Amino acid sequence: MYNNILTSNENGILTITINRESKLNALNIETLQEIKQAVTGAQTDATVTGIILTGAGPKAFAAGADISEFVNFDVKQSTKMSADGHEVMNTIERSAKVIIAAVNGFALGGGCELAMACHLRVASDNAKFGQPEVNLGVPPGYGGTQRLIQLVGKSKAIELLLTADAIGANEALEYGLVNYVTPLDDLLPRCCEILNKTATKSPMAIKAVINCINGYFQDGKDGFKTEIKEFGESFGTADFKEGTDAFLNKRKAAFQR
């Protein structure tokens, strides 16, 4: 079905693995579109409760874009490439199913942008993050200038973007770029642990929270108004009835998917 990614669903957790290990999982255009297709398909798959996005092998999550593919692009082609890449990242960021980036090794350039588009990031202790695009004579093209600021703040983001310096997993944790750092062998189990927890929560409320958070940053939207709308509409859902009934009757909620 796919040429560049592998997918597996175990106990409700869909794992999407970038399968270009010989190229350090570099993101060519086809790979990004396959990731988008897999994430989009998961939205209507009732068997999927959460998603892990990772890279094949121990060396790289995704070591940037595949430069050989676009080195001869003109302005029109490169603009379309960036716009299409933004659409992929937005699809991930707006997913109603929680997506965790399991960052195993290098997450550079487009790889860092891919990780930042996910809702959460768990890094192995050998992970490296960076936006080295200025070394190539370009800025980041898949949302890196925007999401890095959101996650680490303007001052540190400008430093990393202008110097092209890479940072290790523990420094990324210190700056808020990742949520957790684990040994490589514990990386996927830690991600599964988080997703197993979120899978017990209301899927409608999870979706609403994601919409509200994205509303804060999305151009032309008011996150506060989005929250009012999502809060009000939640009262008309079966999840609200189940959650409140479970609370009042001191039992564990059993939300339907």
Those residues whose C-beta lies under 8 Å from the C-beta of residue 256, and which sit 6 or more positions away, are 238, 239, 242
- Indicate the Cα dihedral angle 107, 208, 88, 217, nearest 10°: -70
Closest CA to 38 of 60, 82, 84, 6: 6
Output b/e per residue, 117-140; b: 16+ Cβ within 10 A: bbbbbbbbebbbbbbbbeeeeeeb
DSSP state, 64?
S
DSSP-assigned letter for residue 142: S
β-strands 128-130, 120-124 pairing? unpaired
Task: State how far the Cα of 144 lies from the Cα of 139, in Å rounded to an integer.
Answer: 9
Q: Where are the beta strands (DSSP E) in 12-145?
A: 13-18, 50-55, 60-62, 98-103, 106-108, 120-124, 128-130
Which positions are annotated as active-site residues? 113, 133
